[in-house]
């Protein structure tokens, strides 16, 4: 369903009326397209504190030209050297004059360091989280603000490219930790998944279909998995993308073994997207509604992941990307079953990630969508739907492609230093952190 309020506030009368009434004024977000793959304008590189980060060569490869001052499409503040409260004053001094000049749908990216044993450094670096999240809630005009903690700029190249591009339009207020593992640079950054195979569960429609399309755009051979009842839709999507369809119920006890048998040459990206809702307040929720959601959204993810890892079906350098939700991170009335299942996904990711990397060379991450414009959210009652759309820093719902772009970044061969992360794709929802 179209966001009519967003369209209305894009007109002169709509801007006037919403301003007079103090209503949200969402900006039309700039998303990736083949015609406009990069942000429009230069990049301003600033520093707070003493830094030895080798950042300039990586920023040069983003395609954004450097700016000395003035209007910019993106601002990157290297604050990895901030170690005390006095140095936080340099953060203010650097960004205070620059924020106003960031273009609409632009990016502010703060780079921080991991917290070390020095409590002064830890306090100053933790302060960057409150700073970036607060700035994200006030900056407006479709601009996003994120914090990346890193020690090696080259290991973070795929992350910097993503966050400094239109692909991250609905990702804001996030803190992303990037390790120091040496990246595997693709032969072609425009088609980084060429020669790789990706399986998308629940890929016949909605967000899953968008994920399959985006991975195929990036060069992957996509296997579209969905329940037998959706086989025709799965085949339609797979044929359009030059992939294959697999009709399978992921809750089957042998689902993992059957996936492995269907892909004898192995798999490079396993995308757990399939999920259901059976909403009802706990006092009115029968056991079957509880059990169905936990079975599809969590138990099947655990079983198939374990089976595919045990079978060696995920090749070294592989990626597992699961789907959590802000309902699991912040809670949501009427969704105790759904919230439990999606919080469980976050727990799975954080616990499995280090072991999967050490034993199999595979990373494990999750996306956590907020309010995304789908057929499911279009059926939500009007006032609840409008609240869901407006209760974030960008004052609008996201699109399935926003989840897909974030998934593609996590599935990228150069994203090996990103592991155990749960990244919200929610426009910095006001629900939770």
Cα 400 to Cα 21, 31, 148, 268, 369: the distances in Å are 31, 12, 24, 22, 9
Residue of 162, 338, 371, 409 marked catalytic: 338
Type and span of the H or E element at 410:
helix 400-411
Q: Is 338 a catalytic residue?
A: yes
Type and span of the H or E element at 225:
strand 221-226
Residue pair 363/155 in contact (Cβ under 8 Å)? The answer is no
CA distance 182 to 143: 31
CA distance 423 to 177: 10
What number of H helices and E strands is found in the chain? 16, 13
Here the tokens at position 176 are 């992303």
Which segments of 235-385 are extended strands (E)? 244-247, 267-272, 314-323, 363-369
Residue 273 has phi, psi (to 5 degrees) of -110, -25
* 40 CA to centre of own chain: 22
Which segments of 8-152 are extended strands (E)? 43-49, 66-67, 72-81, 102-112, 144-149
Helices 85-95 and 119-138: angle between axes, nearest 10 degrees: 30
Residue pair 174/167 in contact (Cβ under 8 Å)? The answer is no
Could you tell me the strand order of the sheet in which 244-247 lies?
244-247, 221-226, 197-201, 267-272, 314-323, 363-369, 422-425
Within 13 Å of residue 334, how many CA atoms lie on the same side as its CB?
6
Cα 2 to Cα 142, 166, 217, 374, 402: the distances in Å are 18, 21, 25, 10, 16
DSSP string of 42-81, one letter each residue: -EEEEEEE------HHHHHTTTPPEESSS-EEEEEEEEEE
- Give the residue numbers annotated as catalytic, written as ranges: 338
């Amino acid at each position: 369903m179209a966001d009519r309020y967003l369209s209305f506030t894009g007109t002169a009368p709509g801007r006037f009326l919403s301003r007079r009434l103090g209503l949200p004024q969402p900006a039309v977000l700039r998303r990736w397209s083949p015609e406009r793959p990069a942000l429009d304008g230069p990049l301003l590189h600033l520093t707070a504190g003493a830094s030895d980060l080798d950042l300039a060569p990586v920023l040069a490869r983003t395609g954004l030209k450097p700016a000395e001052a003035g209007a910019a499409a993106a601002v990157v503040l290297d604050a990895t050297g901030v170690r005390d409260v006095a140095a936080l004053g340099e953060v203010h001094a650097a960004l205070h004059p620059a924020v106003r000049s960031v273009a609409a749908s632009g990016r502010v990216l703060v780079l921080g360091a991991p917290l070390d044993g020095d409590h002064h450094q830890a306090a100053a670096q933790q302060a960057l989280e409150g700073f970036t999240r607060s700035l994200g809630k006030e900056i407006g005009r479709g601009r996003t603000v994120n914090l990346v903690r890193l020690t090696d700029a080259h290991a973070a190249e795929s992350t910097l490219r993503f966050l400094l591009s239109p692909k991250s339009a609905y990702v804001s207020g996030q803190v992303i930790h990037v390790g120091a593992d040496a990246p595997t640079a693709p032969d072609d950054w425009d088609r980084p998944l060429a020669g790789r195979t990706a399986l998308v569960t629940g890929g016949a429609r909605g967000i899953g279909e968008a994920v399959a399309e985006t991975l195929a755009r990036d060069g992957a051979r996509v296997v579209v998995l969905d329940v037998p009842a959706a086989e025709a839709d799965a085949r339609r999507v797979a044929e359009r993308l030059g992939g294959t369809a697999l009709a399978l119920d992921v809750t089957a006890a042998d689902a993992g073994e059957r996936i492995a048998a269907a892909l004898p040459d192995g798999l490079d990206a396993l995308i757990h997207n399939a999920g259901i809702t059976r909403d009802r307040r706990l006092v009115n929720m029968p056991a079957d509604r509880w059990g169905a959601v936990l079975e599809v959204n969590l138990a099947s993810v655990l079983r198939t992941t374990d089976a595919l890892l045990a079978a060696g079906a995920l090749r070294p350098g592989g990626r597992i990307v699961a789907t959590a939700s802000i309902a699991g991170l912040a809670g949501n009335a009427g969704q105790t079953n759904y919230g439990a299942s999606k919080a469980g996904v976050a727990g799975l990711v954080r616990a499995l990630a280090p072991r999967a990397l050490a034993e199999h060379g595979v990373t494990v991450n999750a996306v956590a969508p907020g309010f995304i414009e789908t057929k499911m959210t279009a059926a939500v009652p009007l006032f609840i739907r409008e609240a869901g759309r407006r209760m974030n820093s960008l004052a609008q719902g996201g699109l399935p492609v926003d989840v897909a772009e974030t998934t593609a970044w996590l599935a990228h061969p150069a994203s090996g230093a990103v592991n155990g992360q749960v990244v919200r794709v929610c426009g910095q929802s006001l629900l939770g952190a």
